[in-house]
Structure 1
Amino acid sequence: MNSGTTTSGDSLEQIRVLAIDKTAVLAHVRDRWDRLSAHQEIDLALLSPDSWIENFRTYRFTSSDAYHFKAVVGKVIGIGRELKAIYRSGLFKAFRQTRPEVVLMFEESFSFFALQTLIARRLFAPNARLVFYSNNVTSYKIPGYRLSRLYRAIARIVTPRCDVGLCVNDAAERVLREAGYGIEIRTLFYGIDERRFAPVERIKARNEVGLSPDQRVLLYAGRLIELKGVQDLIAAFEGLYKRRPDDKLKLLIVGDGPYREALLQQANALDAKERIEFRQVVPIESMPTLIGACDMLVLPSRKEFNEQFGRVNAETMLCGTTIVASTSGAIPKVLGENGFVFEAGNVEELTEKIIYILEHPGEAEDRRTKGRAYALKHYSTQAAIRNLLQLIKDMTGER
């Protein structure tokens, strides 16, 4: 564990960094911060809630003496409420103990957490450089956008007082620049652990997740809401089943949400109902095996959903599995030339795209190989750490 302002031997001065990340209740997120703090020039403290809700499940922060960072665990009011939760304890303690030079706040600048962090910086570390992280890809100028007057007010207070805004993709960067706050903006994807999300032996993976080795499995994994377009995937699968009845096709839908019952009713009314299986949400630790067990993953989001990134896209590329995704939001930019894209909401085009993949296995294999290489370079934890480290050095000066 990093323990001071210098390292032994070369007496290298360390940069005091405070990371604030509610998703650090997840093991793979803690691993990301641990890999950053393993760099000898970084003295990292990590603030996390003791519990938080991710993907409909409650996770608890688990500490370990093996981590290089110092953990500060706080209590939160409003667990799982992305923008309205506040720290009841832990935030001020983290600032007092670390007196950070750099604060990496993995929060939107219009959240209550962000406003709290700004206050804490003013009280305990007024000279610290403050960074926030944005996933927002919807323009503030669009009528009816979800930001209320309250959130807009918080954004006007917090954003111009930050030093850097990190954006998940180019679309989020454009939105932030359009807002005109005049701060430095960089694009940085938070990173997916390339050691966890990696190709697996398919037969073994299928045995683990209960899939037959001779099936051709299409996977959807995510929230079950109307704008995710799963109804389009089910309709496309019915067409596939009728046109290719001997292909032993199977559609596996993994997830939960308010649209689940409607999707079940849709599936049960089809000839292909025996080939469609619904499963509950699986832990993120099980996702690499699930993705690797399937022939392809389909992300059929509707245009209106305006996908910010589609984390499962990057996970699938790292796993070396074929991906078919719609033109919703930033998806085409995320995939590049490494997946198969169809017009959002176009069931016929989705059907034809899947048939094309089934009939051109060589091209699918080529895109899988290139996709993993691309994801390693741009979306992996290794890439995120490299970029974060450079950001910290840029803000504090090379040491």
Structure 2
Amino acid sequence: MRVLMISRAMVAASQRARLRELAELGVRLTVVAPDRWEYQKFESDRCDAYELLEGRVRLGSTWLGRLSNHTFYYQGISKVIRREPWDLIHIEEEPFNFSSYHAAGLVRNATVPIVFSTWQNMMKRYPPPFLQFEKYLFRRAAGALPGTAEALEVLHRRGFLKPTAVIPIASVDPALYRKQDAGHFRRDLGLGTSFAIGFLGRITREKGLETLVKAFAMLPQNCILVLAGSGPFESELHNLIQNLGIEGRVRRIPWMKSGDVSQYMNSIDALVLPSLTCRNWKEQFGRVLIEAMACETCVVGSDSGEIPNVIGDAGLVFHEGDEGELADRLRRLMEGPSLRESMGQRGRERVLERFTHEKIAQRTLAFYQRILAGPAREPLEETVTIPTGL
């Protein structure tokens, strides 16, 4: 099976572990990743299981505005598409993005199935030309891979009724993320024997940090809050921590190497993801949850977006924005060592069943095979016009 994958996420080498697993299942995989994305430059790797191509990213700003997330495209992608007879093309982008429309429109052989990915978990009204891009992808694609159950629901509500499979792109290596001693990490943070509550992620208002800090202020003195990450809400959060008089019990880690995340998860007693649903956003997955669960660290999450579906029966959920309920959940964990142990074990089991690189690769291959075994595709009468120079 010859598969071409076009994916913005693959700019980072850390995102490619599932590709190796997919290739080891027999897929002849070629992946196009951008030469840069935001602050991330393309990272090469030495994996010979798949072919990795660096695509030059350009913005369609002269006629689409300057929304880079939605208007970028890969210069020269047509040469890759025409290079060999692909069995399937996987565009790992939202269907309303110009890059999806651009790549799909260059696939002149309409018998080659195209599948796209989506994480959009809220109904939104897209202005022209993005609505037209989405409509074209819906007609041209043979199937779709929504990353969450809510994304699948939105996809159906928007009228896409072709084959789908809910497969998250977030996954972990259980050999790296596992229960292990992190005593030195705790010592460096000055945690001692305190009950350590952690947060790892962007310090933004929508991540619910205000809820977490207020809940933490209700807990006994033998608790420490470890906030790892940075972001635009730092100043306001710092003022809130000072006003609540808890600065002596809060530890800050502004930046963390990806290789230290497992140690961090093992150094805390509970991880909290208190995300808040906003007008244009709600939690799409919460990768830190499965990283903590793989390490048998207890997780507590709000009911925003996909969080309850990720946690399942392996953690505790509270109503978003309710600091009192969050404080109650954390007290249960503090006072219940047997609950923490059983929850940690269930979390590890859930990750092994659903969220490892191997499991995600197996489910992705099964969907590819399902698409290829489907009815033959008729040539399209529609002609896509790509602006000159693209």
TM-score using structure 2 length: 0.88
Number of the residue aligned with 1:77: 58
Question: Contact 1:45 / 1:98 at 8 angstroms: preserved in 2?
Answer: no
SS of 2:227 mapped into structure 1: strand
Tell me how far 1:213 sits from its aligned partner: 4.0
- Which structure 2 segments of 5+ residues have no match? 60-65, 375-390
Tell me how far 1:342 sits from its aligned partner: 1.1
Q: How does 1:59-70 map to 2 (within 5 A)?
A: 59-64=41-46, 66-70=47-51
What is the letter of the counterpart of residue 73 of structure 1?
Answer: E
Which digits, 9 at most, give the CA deviation of each residue in 1:188-236, with x for residues without a partner? Answer: 11241223322222314435x6453433221111122212110111111
Q: How does 1:113-124 map to 2 (within 5 A)?
A: 113-122=99-108
Which digits, 9 at most, give the CA deviation of each residue in 1:256-305, with x for residues without a partner? Answer: 22212111111122221111123223233332222222111111112435
1 CA distance for matches of 2:305 and 2:8?
A: 25
1 CA distance for matches of 2:154 and 2:28?
A: 33
1 CA distance for matches of 2:86 and 2:331?
A: 55
2 CA distance for matches of 1:342 and 1:231?
A: 15
Tell me how far 1:350 sits from its aligned partner: 0.9
Number of the residue aligned with 1:233: 212
Identify the match of residue 188 of structure 1 among 147, 153, 167.
167
Question: Contact 2:24 / 2:49 at 8 angstroms: preserved in 1?
Answer: yes
Question: What is the percent sequence identity of the aligned residues?
Answer: 23
1 CA distance for matches of 2:260 and 2:79?
A: 35
2 CA distance for matches of 1:118 and 1:283?
A: 36
Tell me how far 1:80 sits from its aligned partner: 10
What is the letter of the counterpart of residue 290 of structure 1?
Answer: Y
Judged with a 3 Å threshold, the aligned counterparts in structure 2 of structure 1 residues 153 and 293 are, in CA distance, closer, same or farther, namely same
Identify the match of residue 30 of structure 2 among 32, 40, 45.
45
Judged with a 3 Å threshold, the aligned counterparts in structure 2 of structure 1 residues 112 and 286 are, in CA distance, closer, same or farther, namely farther
Number of the residue aligned with 2:382: none
Number of the residue aligned with 1:357: 333
Tell me how far 1:311 sits from its aligned partner: 1.8
2 CA distance for matches of 1:200 and 1:82?
A: 38
Given the alignment of the two structures, is residue 126 of structure 1 paired with residue 100 of structure 2, yes or no? Answer: no
Q: How does 1:126-145 map to 2 (within 5 A)?
A: 126-140=110-124
SS of 1:261 mapped into structure 2: helix
2 CA distance for matches of 1:212 and 1:258?
A: 26
SS of 1:371 mapped into structure 2: helix
Judged with a 3 Å threshold, the aligned counterparts in structure 2 of structure 1 residues 285 and 81 are, in CA distance, closer, same or farther, namely farther
2 CA distance for matches of 1:137 and 1:330?
A: 9
Number of the residue aligned with 1:8: none
Number of the residue aligned with 2:287: 311
Tell me how far 1:60 sits from its aligned partner: 2.2
Judged with a 3 Å threshold, the aligned counterparts in structure 2 of structure 1 residues 26 and 80 are, in CA distance, closer, same or farther, namely farther
Judged with a 3 Å threshold, the aligned counterparts in structure 2 of structure 1 residues 25 and 286 are, in CA distance, closer, same or farther, namely farther
- Which structure 1 segments of 5+ residues have no match? 1-14
Q: How does 1:83-162 map to 2 (within 5 A)?
A: 83-89=70-76, 91-122=77-108, 125-140=109-124, 147-162=126-141
Given the alignment of the two structures, is residue 282 of structure 1 paired with residue 256 of structure 2, yes or no? Answer: yes
TM-score using structure 1 length: 0.86
Judged with a 3 Å threshold, the aligned counterparts in structure 2 of structure 1 residues 312 and 173 are, in CA distance, closer, same or farther, namely same
Which digits, 9 at most, give the CA deviation of each residue in 1:37-87, with x for residues without a partner? Answer: 1223x211111112223xxx42422132x3211121111125994322221
2 CA distance for matches of 1:112 and 1:381?
A: 29
Identify the match of residue 22 of structure 1 among 8, 18, 32.
8
Which digits, 9 at most, give the CA deviation of each residue in 1:123-175, with x for residues without a partner? Answer: xx4322111111111024xxxx5x33332221112222111111112111111
SS of 1:87 mapped into structure 2: strand
Tell me how far 1:359 sits from its aligned partner: 0.2
What is the letter of the counterpart of residue 47 of structure 1?
Answer: V
What is the letter of the counterpart of residue 87 of structure 1?
Answer: Y
Given the alignment of the two structures, is residue 376 of structure 1 paired with residue 352 of structure 2, yes or no? Answer: yes
Question: Contact 1:101 / 1:127 at 8 angstroms: preserved in 2?
Answer: no
Judged with a 3 Å threshold, the aligned counterparts in structure 2 of structure 1 residues 72 and 329 are, in CA distance, closer, same or farther, namely same
Which digits, 9 at most, give the CA deviation of each residue in 1:297-341, with x for residues without a partner? Answer: 111112435222222222221121111111112211221111011
Given the alignment of the two structures, is residue 268 of structure 1 paired with residue 242 of structure 2, yes or no? Answer: yes
1 CA distance for matches of 2:338 and 2:133?
A: 52
What is the letter of the counterpart of residue 326 of structure 1?
Answer: S
SS of 1:17 mapped into structure 2: strand
Question: Contact 1:319 / 1:372 at 8 angstroms: preserved in 2?
Answer: yes
Which digits, 9 at most, give the CA deviation of each residue in 1:240-269, with x for residues without a partner? Answer: 1xxx22x1x211112222212111111122
